[in-house]
Structure 1
Amino acid sequence: MIDILICDAYLYIDHEQEIPDGWIAIEKGRVHSVGSTDQPPPTAARVISARGRLVTPGLVNAHHHMYQNLTRSYAPATRMPLFAWLQALYPLWAGLDADCVYVSSYVAMVELLLGGCTTSMDHLFIHPRPRLVDEQFRAAREIGFRLYATRGSMTRAQEDGGLPPIALVQDEDTVMADCERLVATYHDPAPGAMGRVALGPVSLFSSSERIMRESLAMAERLGLRLHTHLAEDMAEDDCCLNLYGCTPTEQFERMGWASPRTWVAHYIYPSTSEIDRIARAGVGVVQCPSSNMMIGGGSADALDMRERGIHVGLGCNGSATTDHASMWMETRNAMLLGRAGHGPQAMGAREALDMATRGGAACLGWEDEIGHLRPGACADLVIWHASDVALAGALTDPVEGWLRCGPAVAGTTIVAGKVLVENGEPVMAALGDVLREHARQARRIQQRD
């Protein structure tokens, strides 16, 4: 018998298929079948009526820093440009420990679920204490969230031309040993995995050439993906020119990172020829609309990159820059940026939704199983809710209405066939205790001298 049947839905399967009055059947954590009302659905142990609401694949967050929700809206840094903002927050983040990472990851994952996200990467690049990524996997397993942890690193301090203070820098041997341990412990390359690991030196100006090369060698040896920030800020050009005598993209290419196993965050300030080279190399790019607008640093031209053949996903980025973790909001802001830059005819809800689903899945190298609802896919999906007031008059196109109206929230979020948000509320009994501990840890972090 089918585990769950969702009926009376407007089904967005992927960019090629929509079923206006349909059903979707879930069995053993997979999409078993989909159909329309003129096709009798299978018998199921549980039936959920979507009552005509939009059902989409779970959104895929392709770039995040979950620990940063401990320092949201930190007043001294709210009007700073990127580099000054980082330097203002590094001393606070030096207080991270296992408890901090666990509660911040737990809160981030629940918040992402409420915003319709069912798979997220996380780029934890600050490691003042050992075994912090382990706490992220603990939170993900307790919740039932699909996590792609990226073991980040910083190996070049201010004294060596980097950005972080020396207290937050690790040596290359320590980093690579921990990467090897995490991959052996948590990385699951099998179909339907709930946890995977990628390698992520934070940036070309705060990571040494050695760590870039050794991360590449390990990724090739173990079949891993690679991630970093690239061309995020104009000041990055000056840093790379001083350190390497070239642009960030040129150094990225020199390090051998320009390949289909790599995806990069932001990529706001490349030249046209550099974009073309990145496209030919098969590198994925993540646009982080809200974060880039909040920090005032511009944003990647997602439409132009898609036209050049680049897989473009969307990301929330750090909760300390966007102060939220809603992939619905990122998807809407991506649509607005596209329209602002290229005109109303260039971008609609479906193009933005495609980036938030298939685009993000492609960045993670997971497009075969997530980001769509074709039979055989992981059963990660969302039944979207919005108030009757917000949707009043939106009669002709549920997908456009979902993103143009709103705000929309996840009424039901299902990951691997398990309901994690129901009637707009998380099902985790421990959430209250976690939030109380999160508040305590945030106060401790922000009161550091």
Structure 2
Amino acid sequence: MSTLLIKNIHTLVTMDEQRREIRHGGLLIRDNAIEQVGTTAELPNEADEIIDLEDKHLVLPGLVNTHHHFFQTLTRVTPAGQNGDLFQWLTAHYPLWSNLTAEGMYYSSQIAAAELILSGCTTASDHHYLFPNDCVLDEQIRAVSDLGLRFHASRGSMSVGESKGGLPPDSLVEKEANILKDSQRLIEQYHNNDRYSMLRIVLAPCSPFSVSQDLMRESAAMARSYSGVRLHTHLAETQGDVEYSLSKFNLIPGDYAGSVGWLGDDVWHAHCVKLSDRSIDKFGQTGTGVAHCPCSNMRLASGIAPIRKMLNANVPVGLGVDGAASNDATNLLHEARQAFLLARVRDEDASIMTARDALYIATRGGARVLGRDDIGYLAPGMAADFIAINLDKPGFVGTQSDPVAALIYCQTDYVDYSFINGKKVVDRGRLTTVELETLIENSNKAAIKLAEKQL
């Protein structure tokens, strides 16, 4: 067993039930879990490793990313997709994505995970929904595991192509029997529902316009036959999404979700920009979660999700970076800032969302969405997932009155330290689990190969 002491923290933001912010704070870690939280003076001064933050850093729980598409890091700012709405953007990208290979899947997953970790993320869920050229989710799982990110890997899918009234080309859809067979394989091979688990499997048919109602129902039944396997999909992202649901199913998106068994505290939906008030109430009553993706929603002109209304209705809400080709960044700290700003714009009320509300959504909100009771706040018995940000930087000058709020009001680009499951994955701004320069080179090569196949 090993111990780690973090001492002389300027402010320790616990996000616990009391939302304590401890000046001159300290953390004692034993192996992969937190043993003590308090002031530095209250903690023992001995440990196998001691990091003295010299009263210059904020420490807070690691951020949680609840929606992403890692493979899209290879196709950011694609010219044909720069100025379209969701359906136009997807149609422009499907031919390019059809060239994805296992190698591209590996490197795109690693570069996305690296960006997330550097921006404060310690737990992420990725929604991977297309499998051309013998791609398998195992490649993504291996890539993310190598970087040390706590991971919820979603076995996404598309089964309804253009010939059956769906949006994706027929060449990118799978047979539903094959989807379900592979979903079962992945759950039984990889899913770990233990406390502090580093890997869980999620079943995630892509969207109402790319899968059948039967697949939604059968995926839900399969997930619920196992312990801790959750369900995820896109819902009510745009007005076009709503119109498709009405024309195809004669149901608004929230009612569609209910009709296929996709309401409950084991389900979360991405976006929900156009979710009706009645559906928001139903989500709150059932504990159905939402992944809020503000940058992507702005980028595609989808609208602004009614996050304050959802929170007031007790809907679990977390953040999602989304994309990466519909964002086109992968920075969770920036996403929290945009969520904060957009909530105020939407309601034209500067009191509707505080900086601490945004931090709560980014940490405990995301943990609740993913069904985790072992991450999201700092307390004895919780996973040792935390980040540290040095305040001794130009962007934080003048923020002495409230440095915690400064994380959201000011622009915070990257973290200085990150620990995931008790392991140091960022040390003074540098990733410790991968040589970043080599990863960038390999990822750029994979992106070029993908583009060249389209020429």
TM range (shorter): over 0.9
Does 2:278 align with 1:279?
A: no
Instruction: Find the counterpart in structure 2 of residue 166 from structure 1.
Output: 170
CA positional deviation for 1:77 = 1.0
Instruction: Find the counterpart in structure 2 of residue 353 from structure 1.
Output: 359
Q: Please list, as runs of the form range in 1=range in 2, the aligned pairs for 1:39-438 lying within 5 A after superposition.
A: 39-52=42-55, 53-223=57-227, 224-342=229-347, 343-366=349-372, 368-385=373-390, 388-438=393-443
CA positional deviation for 1:433 = 3.0
Q: Is the 8 A contact 1:69 1:108 kept in 2?
A: yes
Instruction: Find the counterpart in structure 1 of residue 13 from structure 2.
Output: 12
SS where residue 41 of structure 2 aligns?
coil
Task: Mark the runs of 5 or more structure 1 residues left unpaired by the alignment.
Answer: none
Q: Is the 8 A contact 2:128 2:156 kept in 1?
A: yes
Q: Is the 8 A contact 1:287 1:299 kept in 2?
A: no
Equivalent-residue separation in structure 2 for 1:111 and 1:237 (angstroms): 32
Number of corresponding residues: 448
Equivalent-residue separation in structure 2 for 1:94 and 1:387 (angstroms): 46
CA positional deviation for 1:300 = 1.2
Letter in 2 for 1:404: Y
Equivalent-residue separation in structure 2 for 1:69 and 1:37 (angstroms): 41
Cα distance per residue 1:344-388 (max 9 Å; x no partner): 22211110000000111111000x101111111111110013553
SS where residue 104 of structure 2 aligns?
helix
SS where residue 31 of structure 1 aligns?
strand
Instruction: Find the counterpart in structure 2 of residue 440 from structure 1.
Output: 445
Equivalent-residue separation in structure 2 for 1:406 and 1:298 (angstroms): 23
| TM-score, length-scaled by structure 1 | 0.97
Q: Is the 8 A contact 2:268 2:369 kept in 1?
A: yes
Equivalent-residue separation in structure 2 for 1:41 and 1:341 (angstroms): 48
Letter in 1 for 2:268: W
Task: Mark the runs of 5 or more structure 2 residues left unpaired by the alignment.
Answer: none
- Give the CA RMSD over aligned residues: 1.4
| TM-score, length-scaled by structure 2 | 0.96
Q: Is the 8 A contact 1:266 1:299 kept in 2?
A: no
Instruction: Find the counterpart in structure 2 of residue 36 from structure 1.
Output: 39
Equivalent-residue separation in structure 1 for 2:8 and 2:345 (angstroms): 35
CA positional deviation for 1:162 = 0.8
SS where residue 204 of structure 1 aligns?
coil
Equivalent-residue separation in structure 2 for 1:361 and 1:424 (angstroms): 25
CA positional deviation for 1:156 = 0.5
Q: Is the 8 A contact 2:105 2:135 kept in 1?
A: no
CA positional deviation for 1:446 = 1.9
Equivalent-residue separation in structure 2 for 1:373 and 1:81 (angstroms): 40
Letter in 2 for 1:347: M
Q: Is the 8 A contact 1:105 1:139 kept in 2?
A: yes
Range that drifts further, 429-438 or 5-14: 429-438
Equivalent-residue separation in structure 1 for 2:434 and 2:123 (angstroms): 21
Q: Is the 8 A contact 1:34 1:375 kept in 2?
A: yes
Cα distance per residue 1:120-145 (max 9 Å; x no partner): 00000011134521011111221111
Equivalent-residue separation in structure 1 for 2:397 and 2:115 (angstroms): 26
Equivalent-residue separation in structure 2 for 1:252 and 1:431 (angstroms): 41
CA positional deviation for 1:429 = 4.1
SS where residue 64 of structure 1 aligns?
coil
Q: Is the 8 A contact 2:28 2:43 kept in 1?
A: no
Cα distance per residue 1:58-87 (max 9 Å; x no partner): 000000100000001112211111100001
